[in-house]
Amino acid sequence: MQTQDIIQLEQQYVLQVYQRADFILDHGQGARVWDTDGREYIDCVAGIAVNALGYGDPDLLGALTEQAGRLWHTSNLYHTAPQARLARLLCETSFADRVHYANCGASANESAFKFARRFAREHGHSDKTTIVAFSNGFHGRLFGSLAATDRPKYREPFEPLMPGVRFARFNDLDSVAAAIGPDVCAVIVEPVQGEGGVHLAEPQFLAGLRRLCDQHQALLIFDEVQCGLGRTGQLWAYQGYGVTPDLLTTAKPLAGGLPMGAVLLTQRVADALHPFDHASTFAGGPLVAAVAEVLVSKVSQPAFLAQVAEKGQVLRHKLAELRSPHIKAVRGQGLLIGVELDVLAAQVVSAGQRHGLLTVGAGPTVLRLAPPLIITHAEIDAAVERLAVALTEV
Ligand code: PLP
C-alpha cells in the first residue's frame, strides 16, 4: 500500500479526533525513525515521552518475546510472576510500599483519586472528597482526570465532569492555602508540568504543598506520568526535590511503549483499600509487566540517570546558544525540555518534520523536546542543527 492510500484509509475509517502528520512512520532504531518513503527523523518526541529506551532495545525485545511465548494475559483473578517482581522493583526504587496497576496515565490518576477518597472515608471523613489541582496541569482525558485538568477547551464539550475539583495556581502557595480546607482529600500536582508548557515546580512550592497537606489531613499525589522514570535525570522527579508524596502515578515510559500505568503508594494509604475497591481486567498483565521490569531496571541505574542529566544540560545549552530570534526561553530538566517561542509551536513542529526532526508542542507557543533517554551526543547535535534550519523557515 502506498503512503497516500494508507492516509486515505485512516481518514475514511478512523474517528478523526487526532491531527496527524502527513507521513507514516514505519520503523525505528535507537533515537531515529524512518517513514514509509525512507525519510529519516531524529525523534525528539519519543511517542510523547514514552519510548525512554528508544526503538529496538534488545533487552525489551527479549523480555517481550520470552513472555509472549509463555503467557500474555490472565486477568487479576490469578497471580503472575512478572507483576509481583515489578511491584517489588518499583517499591525498592521509590518511597512506596505498594503498587496498584493501571492501563495508562489517566486511569492511574483516577485510581489515585479513588484511593484518596477511600482513605478519607476509612478515617471517618465521608465529607472529605475535594481534590485540589493546578493551573496548567494535565492529568488525562477521562471524566475524573479531565476534571483535574486545567484546559477549558478540552473540558467544556463534555461537562459535567467529575465534581469536587478545585483549582489553585501552580507555584503559588497562597492560592493553595486559600483552596485547601477540611473538605480536601488530596492535592494532585506534576513536579514538572509537561503538557502545560514544561514548567518546573519550585522546591519551596512542593515542600509547602507537603506541609499544607499534612496540616489538613489531605494526601499528596505526584503525577509523574510524564516527568517520572528517568526523564528528569532522577529516577523519580520527587527525588530531586526531596519532597515525598503519599501517592505517585506513573505510566508513559513504564512498559517501554506498551500501555501500562501504576500508582505507587505508602502502606498508610494502602491500609485503607480492600478487596473489590478497585479493579481492571488488563492492568498489570504479565506481558507489559515483564517488559516494564526490564525498563525500570535499566533506567534506574545511576550511570544511566547521570547520562540523562548530562545530555539534558548539553541539549538545553545548545538550544540557548542557537540565539534564534524566535526563541524567548529554554527551560526544563533532564530530557524534558520546553522552548518558549514567539511564534506558534505548530509551525516549528511542521518545519522540523520537513527537515528530519520530530518535536511536539506543549501549549500554543512552547516547543517540547522529549527524546529517547538513549539519544546520542551526535544525534543531539544533529537535532539542534535541524531545528536551527526549521526556525529560519517560520
Ligand atoms: N498525566 C500527565 C502528566 C500526562 O502528561 C499525561 C499525558 O500526557 C497523562 C497524565 C495522561 O496519560 P494517558 O494519555 O496515558 O492517559
pLDDT score of 1: 87
Instruction: Say how far apart CA 199 and CA 193 lie, in whole Å.
Output: 5
Domain span holding position 138: 71-299
66 domain-assigned: no
Ligand 1 contact, 257 CB (< 6 A): no
Instruction: Say how far apart CA 147 and CA 141 lie, in whole Å.
Output: 8
pLDDT score of 136: 97
pLDDT digits (tens, 9 = 90+) for 165-175: 999 999 999 99
pLDDT score of 59: 98
Q: Using the atom order of ligand 1, give the atom closest to the CA of residue 105.
A: 12
Q: Are residues 290 and 309 in the same domain?
A: no
127 residue type, one letter: D
Residue nearest ligand 1's atom 7 by CA? 140
Q: Are residues 182 and 272 in the same domain?
A: yes
Ligand 1 contact, 138 CB (< 6 A): yes
Task: Return the best residue to mutate from 141, 149, 188, 225 for the ligand 1 pocket (most ligand atoms within 8 A of CB).
Answer: 225
293 domain-assigned: yes
Query: Which of 263, 282, 299 is the endpoint of a domain?
Result: 299
Ligand 1 contact, 259 CB (< 6 A): no
192 domain-assigned: yes
Q: How far is the CA of 169 from the centre of ligand 1 (A)?
A: 20
328 domain-assigned: yes
Ligand 1 contact, 102 CB (< 6 A): no
Q: Are residues 127 and 176 in the same domain?
A: yes
Query: Which of 299, 317, 344 is the endpoint of a domain?
Result: 299
Q: How far is the CA of 106 from the centre of ligand 1 (A)?
A: 6
Sequence-distant (6+) residues with CB within 8 A of 176 are: 132, 168, 169, 187, 208, 209, 212
pLDDT score of 370: 98
349 domain-assigned: yes
Ligand 1 contact, 251 CB (< 6 A): yes
pLDDT digits (tens, 9 = 90+) for 39-49: 999 999 999 99
By C-alpha distance, which of 70, 54, 138, 94 is closest to 289? 70
By C-alpha distance, which of 367, 314, 371, 375 is closest to 338? 367
Residue nearest ligand 1's atom 5 by CA? 226
Query: Which of 299, 317, 335 is the endpoint of a domain?
Result: 299
pLDDT digits (tens, 9 = 90+) for 120-129: 999 999 999 9
By C-alpha distance, which of 377, 383, 292 is closest to 52? 292
Q: Which residues of the chain have pLDDT under 70?
A: none
CATH number of the domain to which 48 belongs: 3.90.1150.10
pLDDT score of 195: 98
Total domains present in the chain = 2
Q: Are residues 79 and 150 in the same domain?
A: yes
**Is residue 103 within 8 Å of 283, Cβ to Cβ?**
yes
CATH number of the domain to which 294 belongs: 3.40.640.10
In the DSSP assignment, the letter for residue 6 is: H
pLDDT score of 132: 99
Q: How far is the CA of 16 from the centre of ligand 1 (A)?
A: 20
Burial 4-20 (b: 16+ CB within 10 A, else e): eeeeeeeeeeeeeeeee
Q: Are residues 30 and 121 in the same domain?
A: no
